[in-house]
Amino acid sequence: MDRNVILAIVLSMGVFLAWDFFVLSPQRDAQRAAQAEQATQEAEAEAQSMDPNISGLTDEKAALTVEEAIANSTARVPIKTPTLEGSINLKGGRLDDLKLMQYHQTVDDKSPPIRLLSPADTEHGHYMQQGWAVGRDTAAHAQWTVAEGDVLTPQTPVTLKRESGGVAYEKTISVDDKYMFTVTQTVTNTSGDSKTLLPYAAVVQRNMPLDYIHRMILQEGPLGVIGTKLYERKYNKLKKNKDAKIEESGVGGWVGITNKFWLAASIPPADAEIKATLANTSKTDEPVFQSYYEMKPVTLEPGETQTMQSYMFGGPKDVDLLQSYEHKPENGGLGIYDFDKAVDWGHLFFLTRPIFYTLNFFGDTIGNFGVAILLLVLIIKLILFPLANKGYESMSKMKKLQPEIKKLQERYEDDKMKLQQEMMALYKKEQLNPLAGCLPILLQMPIFFALYKTLFVTIELRHQPFLYISDLSAPDPTTIFNLFGLLPFDPTVLPIIGGLLGIGFLPLLMGVAMWFQTKLNPPPADPVQAQIFGLMPFVFVFIFASFAAGLVLYWFWNTTLGIFQQWYIMKKNGVKVELGQRLNLPWAKKDAAAGDAKAK
């Protein structure tokens, strides 16, 4: 054979072997690695494909009362603390029976305590559950047994256990003397194969809660801080649109379900990576609201054990309480990030928070939140005094110009455009801004809304009395239509019109103060505007009748102080305060007529 042919064959084989070694072999290795990684991902995905209906609730409608549901599930561990009473359901190992013993349904201390949690098979079931999912199975109905402890108290934790599918589960639950449960879970692989488990926790609410209010300014429903950001979804939005759910990932945080004053929340380890979901997971018209998180899958080799500690909170949205759990462990807390954001501070949080802290300080110091509101208004008045004075001075100058304005109105009665031009020329000549008189109201509106939010959402003002009012966070309990309680019936319960009849003494007092103040102000040039402004106090009486009494107290006291401030500035600027004539008093009319006759 020709030497060149042999050389060509050898070189070709060398090139082929080199190509196989340096190019094809790495590609095959990469392909095998990709296949192995895909297999691992599929295994993890199988572990992560947890049934989104963590609650395990069926489409069957709940028919039991709370008492019946608790009686039917006799396998329970009682809970007894200075602040809580209830029980843990051994079916699912869930916390589904919890009463807040220091908070009552009414101002009467003998009324039943607030029930926060209730069993799943009731119409408004509300409960918390933590565990480990295997594949899609969350073991929501797994039966646990008591390994240690008879009653859960701050001094005596309880330990539950069960075994399933070659895995031994142990759950030790402790509780502090407030409202926080610590859950220490241990899992051990007792089989000869590796096991992949998915840690999870959920807070569930079946249907709308009994105390659902449905106010636009209030967050009611699933919420949570995921990583460092707050996410919220309202019950109504999730009920109407199941696609409105939230799915977010982050490190640490908490998830829960909140109502006006109460919170049920699950808290993962602070350094855990979680995927959190706020959703309505129901497949029927009966909503099932869930706030839940999943952690990274845990793979246990045969004989391996893993332990994890998490928390559950069930209690009031007391700001000091929530913030105490935010502190680092070395400072007596749990390091829960932004836990006080469970309180709906709103978009005006930069005003709402300072107002709350000031009001709470005065309330604690003085011992009465009604007096605290009066003092808060006085301080706000002092802060805004210089700016408000400019507004009142402008109104005083407007009042001095009323005779000239009246002449212009008579002269240009049939030419509105010319009248406006002449009035603007008069304002310019006198260096007067007619809009400056609106300054006091404009300054008060953000503070008003912030205070409204504070009084509406903070539990610190719940059931706080002032004079005859038993609860400053609720509307004035009296009404003019039963002579403020002298007649033995409640007109507010009447259908359709009942809501319009709840005009209490304080809203009436506020309306009188507003009407009095309008009489100090110069009347608008436009007769239609004058009529509208004249009706405003009466409209406000009906609007404020349904507002919290504390808010009405604020507006009444603020208006009253404004009257004295305006009177003082008018006197200072030499404006004659013909209050009797403005109030259309008969003797004032006689005096005015006599004065006019004398002038002639």
> Per-domain residue ranges for the chain?
66-344, 351-599
Work out whether strand 145-148 and strand 158-164 pair parallel, antiparallel, or are unpaired.
antiparallel
CA distances from 28 to 20, 22, 537 (A): 10, 11, 84
DSSP per residue, 519-587: HHSPPPSSHHHHHHHHHHHHHHHHHHTTS-HHHHHHHHHHHHHHHHHHHHHHHHTT----HHHHTT-HH
How far is Cα 241 from Cα 374, in angstroms, rounded to an integer?
44
Per-residue pLDDT tens digits for 411-443 = 777 777 877 777 777 777 766 666 655 666 677
Phi, psi of 558 (to 5 degrees): -65, -40
Residue type, 13: M
528 C-beta neighbours (distance < 10 Å), count: 8
Give the phi and the psi of residue 321 in degrees, each rounded to 5.
-65, -50
Query: Two tokens at 282?
Result: 């129901």
- Angle between helix axes 549-572 and 439-457 (nearest 10 degrees) is 160
Q: Which of 146-150, 331-335, 428-432, 521-525 has the lowest mean pLDDT?
A: 521-525
Mean pLDDT of 391-412: 71
Please report, rounded to a whole number, the percentage of residues in the chain having pLDDT higher than 70: 76
**Stated length of the chain:** 600
- In order, the DSSP letters of 127-151 are EEEEEEEBTTB--TT-B-EEEE-SS
- Give the other-Cβ count within 10 Å of 567's Cβ: 16
Contact 550, 456 (CB under 8 A): no
Q: Provide the β-strand partners of residue 80.
A: 85
Q: Which of 202-216, 480-494, 506-520, 542-556 has the lowest mean pLDDT?
A: 480-494
Which residue is listed with tokens 């609007």?
543
Q: What's residue 5's pLDDT?
A: 42
Name the nearest CA neighbour of 467 among 366, 553, 365, 370. 370
Cβ–Cβ under 8 Å, residues 457 and 262? no
**485 vs 178 pLDDT, higher one:** 178
- CA–CA distance, 488 with 479 (Å, rounded to integer): 12
Q: Which residues pair with 219 in a beta bridge?
A: none
How do residues 518-527 score in pLDDT, each as one tens digit? 877 666 656 7
| Confidence (pLDDT) at 494 | 64
The C-alpha angle with vertex 348 and arms to 205 and 211, in degrees rounded to 5, equals 25
CA distances 485 to 426, 468, 498, 504, 515, Å, are 53, 11, 15, 10, 25
- Can you give the pLDDT at residue 363? 92
C-beta atoms surrounding 508 within 10 Å: 20
Q: Percentage of residues in the chain with pLDDT exceeding 90? A: 41
- Position 10 scores a pLDDT of 45
pLDDT surpassing 60 at residue 290: yes
Indicate the burial class of 371 (C-beta count within 10 angstroms; 0-12, 13-18, 19 or more): middle
Tell me which amino acid residue 21 is: F
Average pLDDT, the chain: 81
- pLDDT computed for residue 40 by the predictor: 45
**Alpha carbon distance 542, 500 (integer Å):** 7
Answer whether residue 47 shows pLDDT above 80. Answer: no
Residue 273: strand pairing partners: 251
On whether the CB atoms of residues 432 and 398 are closer than 8 A, the answer is: yes
> Locate tokens 């103060």: which residue?
513
Residue 112 near residue 66 (C-beta atoms within 8 A): no
pLDDT band for position 30 (50/70/90)? low
Q: Say what the alpha-carbon torsion angle 111, 113, 114, 120 is, to the nearest 10 degrees.
A: -120
- Interatomic CA distance for residues 256 and 59, integer angstroms: 23
pLDDT in tens, 310-326: 999 999 999 999 999 99
Q: Of 5-9, 198-202, 378-382, 580-584, which range is least confident?
A: 5-9
Higher pLDDT, 308 or 516: 308
Half-sphere exposure of 538 (CA within 13 A, CB side): 5
Of 162-176, 244-258, 431-445, the least confident: 431-445
522 vs 536: CA distance, rounded Å? 15
How far apart, in whole angstroms, are the C-alpha atoms of residue 245 and residue 234?
A: 10
Q: Do the beta carbons of residue 548 and residue 472 sit within 8 Å? A: yes
Cβ atoms of 336 and 267 closer than 8 Å: yes
Q: The domain 66-344: what is its CATH number?
A: 2.70.98.90
**Tokens 């603390």 found at:** 81
Residue 544: phi and psi, rounded to 5, are -75, -15
Q: Is 335 left (phi over 0), alpha (psi -120 to 50) or beta?
A: left
pLDDT at 457: 86
Q: What is the pTM of this model?
A: 0.79
| 50 pLDDT higher than 60 | no
Instruction: Tell me the C-alpha distance between 514 and 537, whole Å.
Output: 6
Single-letter amino acid, residue 347: H
